[in-house]
């Protein structure tokens, strides 16, 4: 496991700032680039955190899904299988 935080303060209250938030990854850093960024404060006590996994895309969408004709039963079945495999892999690594 790897902690992604770089020490940037994520909590701000008056004159007090601290690095309270925690982001942890397991197994991704060897396969995919992982980037952790604290975004500019948007007037909340906690700054938003952006966690990016994988290489940045080209920004061009080449495939679009027609959600109105989606076979949701098949999607649920296939998703359940994949999620079980991911859970087993997560627990055994």
Element spanning 38, H or E: strand 34-38
| 61 against 34, higher pLDDT | 34
Q: What is the pLDDT of residue 54?
A: 79
22: its two tokens? 């925690």
Categorize the per-residue pLDDT at 92 as very low, low, confident or very high, splitting at 50, 70 and 90: confident
* Confidence check: pLDDT of 62 > 80: no
Q: What is the mean pLDDT of residues 59-69?
A: 68
Q: Which of these, 65, 62, 60, 3, lies nearest to 28 by C-alpha position?
A: 3
């Amino acid at each position: 496991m790897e902690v992604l935080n770089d020490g940037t303060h994520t909590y701000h209250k008056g004159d007090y700032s601290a690095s309270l938030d925690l982001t942890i990854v397991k197994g991704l850093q060897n396969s995919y680039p992982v980037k952790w960024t604290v975004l500019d404060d948007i007037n909340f006590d906690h700054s938003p955190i952006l966690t990016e996994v994988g290489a940045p895309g080209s920004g061009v969408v080449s495939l679009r899904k027609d959600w109105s004709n989606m076979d949701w039963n098949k999607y649920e079945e296939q998703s359940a299988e994949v999620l079980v495999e991911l859970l087993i892999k997560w627990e055994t690594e």
